[in-house]
Amino acid sequence: MVTVADVLADTGLALVPVHTPRPEQAVRWVATSELPDPAPFFEGGEILLTTGLQTKRWSREWVRYVRGLADAGIPALGFATGLTFAAPPAALVEACATFGLNLFEVPRATPFVAISHRVSRMLADEEEASARGALKVQRTLTASAAGPQGALGVLKALAKILAGSACIVAADGRVALGPVGERQAAMSAADLATEVRRLHQRGPRSAATLSNAAGTTVLQPLGVSGRRTSFLAALGPERFSGSQRSAITTAVALLSLISEQERTAAETRRRLRSRAVELAVAGDAETAQLVLGIEPEMPPLPSPMRVIRAGGTAAQLADASSLLDERRALAAGGDDEVCVITADSDRAALTAELCGAGLLVGVGRRTGIRDAPESHRTAGIALAQATPAAAIAEWDHIFRQGPLGLMDPGDARSFAESYLGRLDTEQLDLLRCYLRNHGSRLKVAEEMGLHRNTIRNRLDAIAERLPGPLDDPQTRVSAWIALQTMDSRPRRGQMYAD
């Protein structure tokens, strides 16, 4: 960037600073004008050279003139002496001081065209240097991207080029990687998260620039094909040079490519894990392990293991799939459930996370990997027992409950009421005692303090009100299940922990 100070420092031009409060202002070109109001004809960034030919009698007019130049973005006014004026008018100097406009004197020996040629050369040299610098930083960033650190290497290289800091911000506003660089403490994670939320409201390719006392921070979206996955945040000086702007652009392109490559690789790994689960629960553990062996970083099939099956809405399943991807879990998704193979030691934490995502969860039997189909089947039975009130159901608990654990509570109550509904309280107590003593009338008589004949007669009366005789094993099993239902009425899907 060529500045007013650079132009004034050229000894060959012999320019004389008169009032230079802002010598760091950038110069884009040089223009000459003798108009009393040239401001409308400028784009901004031009040094204006004038002899003041039409201003000989000016006094207060200088205020309007200088205000117009300042508003037009003119960085400096070069006033020729030795022609119309011997020195810059005091009113002009005062107006420049009022509006903060740089003013310098052009001696008669210095032609305006010499200044134009010199500034043009400076701009060309600066542009050439900027191009060389851009090429250098592009090579540096590309080499960093190809290194073992990938995205982190690009961030470190960019932060060094900017003499600032850089990081990657996830789509939800979290700082996903970094910050790195000598000024990382100056990056505010809270400010970045707030700005990311604003960018989501503007559109998929929106970017932002933040300026404060720390410098200038740019936020650029990363991703290809319109897929915005994260943002690059880069902190640098108040004004970026051409090569620094090029470095940011190159970093965005490289990080977007790295992100897409990582996303593609992650999707490949997810599909391999999913296929391995499908094969394992189908009984082909050997092929499942071969599938996992395609990628060196894939986890092996655990043993002992459990299959976990979880169901919920489409949105809940999508959240669960993201959670499982982050854990690199062995999982396969379907239309209405996800299926996970996990080490027995990890099941408690995993089921809690799935339950936290709003899913109903069924945990299968603990088996070796070759018996995964059995664990998968029992996980399905457990899932059928889960309810919103008791979202985690485990096969181990259902197994310990006996047949009642497999029955719907409402269905079990209806069965019990139909099966035993014709018996009064005394008959129910007698039947319970009879079944508890395995059909021994003698033990029943002793426990209840009644004669054996009385017990026999009362049992005959009970049998008449049941679907079958009491010496029939089916009748006894059904009666015992009905009595258990009436006694305990267990809640279906009750959470169980070993």
All structural domains of the chain with their residue ranges: 4-110, 133-261, 302-401, 407-488
373-427 pLDDT tens trace: 999 999 998 998 888 988 999 998 887 776 666 666 777 788 888 889 899 999 9
Residue 357 pLDDT more than 60?
A: yes
Structure tokens at 84: 């119309």
Residue 64 CA from chain centroid, whole number: 54
**Residues whose CB falls within 8 Å of the CB of residue 204, separated by 6 or more in sequence, listed in order:** 221, 226, 228
Q: Of 18, 137, 36, which Cα lies nearest the Cα of 79?
A: 18
Q: Lowest-confidence range among 81-85, 214-218, 274-278, 400-404? A: 400-404
pLDDT, residue 490, reads 42
Most confident of 129-138, 242-251, 410-419: 242-251
Is the per-residue pLDDT at 498 higher than 50?
no
The mean pLDDT of 329-352, rounded to a whole number, is 91
Which phi-psi region, left, alpha or beta, contains residue 82 (left: φ > 0; alpha: ψ -120 to 50)? left
Burial class (CB in 10 A: 0-12, 13-18, 19+), 132: exposed
Superfamily (CATH H level) for 302-401: UreE, C-terminal domain (3.30.70.790)
For residue 22, which amino acid is it? Answer: R
Higher pLDDT: 230 or 104? It is: 104
Separation CA 234–CA 207 (nearest Å): 12
> How do residues 272-312 score in pLDDT, each as one tens digit?
999 999 999 999 999 999 999 888 778 889 989 999 999 99
Q: What are the CA-CA distances from residue 158 to residues 56, 78, 233 (Å)?
A: 54, 39, 11
Q: What is the pLDDT of residues 435-493, one digit of tens each?
A: 988 889 999 999 999 998 999 999 999 999 998 899 888 898 889 888 888 875 443 33
Domain 133-261 has CATH 3.30.450.40: yes
CATH of the domain spanning 4-110, picked from 2.30.30.100, 3.40.50.80, 3.20.20.10, 3.40.1390.20: 3.40.1390.20
* pLDDT score of 496: 29
Give residue 240's identity as a one-letter amino acid code.
F
| Separation of alpha carbons 49 and 31, rounded Å | 6
3-state helix, strand, coil in the chain (%, to 5): 50, 15, 30
CA–CA separation, 399 and 376 (whole Å): 15
- The residues facing 169 across adjacent strands are 175, 231
CA distances from 174 to 169, 186, 224, 232, 321 (A): 6, 16, 20, 12, 20
The residues that bridge with 16 in the sheet, in sequence order, are 105
| pLDDT above 70 (res 152) | yes
Assigned token pair, 177? 């990687």
221-242 average pLDDT score: 81
Q: Quickly state the pLDDT bin for 322 (edges 50, 70, 90).
A: confident
Q: Does domain 407-488 have CATH number 1.10.10.2840?
A: yes
pTM greater than the 0.85 cutoff = no
Encoding tokens for residue 7? 């132009």
More confident residue, 90 or 132: 90
* pLDDT at residue 488 in the model: 59
pLDDT value at 230 more than 70: yes
Contact between 228 and 221 under an 8 Å Cβ cutoff? The reply is yes
